[in-house]
Amino acid sequence: MMTSARSSSWTSSDPSLAELEVMVAEPSHRGKGIGKEVTRMMMSYGVTKLGVKQFEVKIGLDNQVSIAMFKKLHFQEVSVSKVFKEMTLEIRVDDLVRAKLLHDTAHMKERDYGQTCRNRQELVSK
């Protein structure tokens, strides 16, 4: 799986605006809720740790699954580029969006990445 959320500094110097990208690389693992869950997880991290107030996503017009997923997460279509054949969707993090996001990710726990890797290595070497 690949996920990323980056500051859209190439289009704006506003650090409260972030662009999201998500891919469930293994096709057989798609359609099981992973995409929605990791997107919420990234958004929650962005909002609570980085002060993100607006997310945007650019999706190819033929990628209906992804467009459906972001609309389900309440992103709104803001523009369509015929040249790049892509759509831009965005969501502004107002109090309601923030509260829903925190509610939907309340079961998730933040773990130290280095420690998690070391724990895995210990398990594998046993």
Residues that bind ligand COA (CB under 6 A): 21-24, 30-36, 57, 59, 63, 65-66, 68-69, 72
**Residue in 42, 39, 40 with CA at minimum distance from that of residue 59:** 39
Q: How far is the CB of 54 from ligand COA (least distance, A)?
A: 16
Radius of gyration of the chain (CA): 16
Q: How far is the CB of 53 from ligand COA (least distance, A)?
A: 20
**Residue in 114, 115, 96 with CA at minimum distance from that of residue 104:** 96
Pick 108 or 117: Cβ nearer ligand COA: 108
Pick 9 or 64: Cβ nearer ligand COA: 64
Q: How far is the CB of 73 from ligand COA (least distance, A)?
A: 8
Q: How far is the CB of 23 from ligand COA (least distance, A)?
A: 4
Pick 63 or 119: Cβ nearer ligand COA: 63
| Angle, alpha carbons 25-31-34 (nearest 5°) | 65
- Which is it for strands 76-81 and 17-23: parallel, antiparallel or unpaired? unpaired
Residue whose C-beta lies closest to ligand COA: 35
Pick 71 or 118: Cβ nearer ligand COA: 71
Please say whether the beta carbons of 56 and 17 come within 8 A.
Answer: yes
3-class SS at 19? Answer: strand
